[in-house]
């Protein structure tokens, strides 16, 4: 029985499928971990205005 080559078409044959599948699983795992961390932290944009000291840099101004 041979494994049909569907995703990767390299010289390693069926081993390419395993390597490619491992990369996909690792990528999806990392994305899932980062998504969960972001959801847990509760990233909320700051609503406080940014204040700058204009005495240090008079040629700079705040963009709205």
Question: What's the pLDDT tens digit per position in 4-60?
Answer: 666 667 777 778 888 888 999 999 999 999 999 888 877 566 666 666 555 566 677
Structure tokens at 14: 């069926």
> Sign of the CA dihedral 39, 42, 47, 50?
negative
pLDDT, residue 27, reads 97
Closest by CA to 20, choosing from 6, 34, 31, is 6
User: What does the alpha-carbon distance between residue 32 and residue 25 come to, in Å, rounded to a whole number?
Assistant: 10
pLDDT, residue 22, reads 93
User: What does the alpha-carbon distance between residue 64 and residue 50 come to, in Å, rounded to a whole number?
Assistant: 10
Which segments of 1-64 are extended strands (E)?
A: none
Does pTM top 0.75 for this prediction?
no
């Amino acid at each position: 029985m041979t494994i049909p080559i569907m995703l990767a078409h390299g010289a390693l044959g069926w081993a390419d499928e395993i390597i490619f599948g491992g990369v996909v699983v690792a990528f999806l795992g990392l994305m899932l971990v980062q998504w969960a961390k972001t959801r847990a932290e509760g990233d909320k944009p700051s609503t406080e205005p940014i204040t700058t000291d204009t005495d240090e840099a008079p040629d700079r101004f705040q963009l709205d």
